[in-house]
Structure 1
């Protein structure tokens, strides 16, 4: 019974970090989705070589440098030149910028998979390029990219754990503090694993169910 009580208190403490983890994930996803979509549209429909090279360079840099290094640069590097970001702000921006590179590839692949005739047909009946993108291309692109988008969201929620390295009060931050003060290592990290699973499994299930429903509507 004593072990159960200790485990319950550990879960209650780590739940505070779970709230922060969700906040970081939501903020980072918003940045990643908006910037990633903008980059994907530019990469797909813009013929400027300079812009194409710039986008390709951004994607390669963000995908090949560890996300933790970006967080350190935002949190410690900017502080060295007088610009101080809070741990949560640095985590949201850092993970969001990395995510934009990932989602740019996802969205661009989705747009390129659509038949070019759909865009031409929409333009021929009088739709503007913006309306064609909004009403014809983007809805179909989201259907195609939904599985990859679900995988990214699940991975992003797990990646919020690295924000503890810059003192963001998420799950692993509280877990390490509890280990230092109580030495209940097994119970603490088991509780952390259960919390991550409790957050991520419903997300994976929701994306999978949405994908199945869209498949049946075709």
Structure 2
């Protein structure tokens, strides 16, 4: 038991590592604040393009995009974007590479969420909005999209929680997020306690969101 505590719950190492890990946590927070809106906005437009497409070719292209990026490992995607694109003459800094790779990946998941929401809005809502004199675009953005978003808020929150956890792979390009900070301290302390502390910090910031998500899911099924 003592060995378990010394190796994974060492309070002395926790105290020494905490300032460095808090810096990494801040990086995780602002990185999430960038990549989540990028994914949400791109996913919404993909879903609109899919549900409103008049061309089968456009619809197939969007479906192919969604299926591909939902199936492709995000870690490999990030490595290809950051380390592979320079061979094509395209060099991106760490942040740009992470935002691009995460945006491509996350947009596919958010697109499926929004697609379900849009398809769940009765067609009569569009017809009723058009009967008031709204153009198709105005009816879509003023009536259909708001209803679709309300219907899928729990799914959006759940997906966003996964995105926050996904930011851990940004460590492969040496972006100093929380897990990277924990690994740096671990390499100095020769003790895995910083990794456990990082996990506890993730739990601290994500557990309230998870509980909120649980309440929303419960209300939705009542």
The match for 1:158 is: 165
3-state SS of the aligned residue for 2:152?
A: helix
* Number of aligned residues: 213
The match for 2:6 is: none
1:135 aligns with 2:142: yes
1:202 aligns with 2:208: yes
1:52 aligns with 2:65: no
Instruction: Report the aligned-residue RMSD.
Output: 2.0
The match for 1:147 is: 154
Structure 1: tracts of 5 or more residues without a match: none
Distance 2:124 2:24 in 1: 49
Structure 2: tracts of 5 or more residues without a match: 1-9
Distance 2:111 2:48 in 1: 9
| Residue among 109, 112, 117 paired with 2:116 | 109
Task: Give how far 1:106 is off.
Answer: 0.7
The match for 1:167 is: 174
Q: Quick check: 2:13–2:194 contact (8 Å CA) kept in 1?
A: no
Deviations 1:178-198 (A, max 9, x none): 11111121x211101111111
Q: TM-score scaled to structure 2, two decimals?
A: 0.89
3-state SS of the aligned residue for 1:84?
A: coil
Distance 1:123 1:49 in 2: 25
Q: TM-score scaled to structure 1, two decimals?
A: 0.90
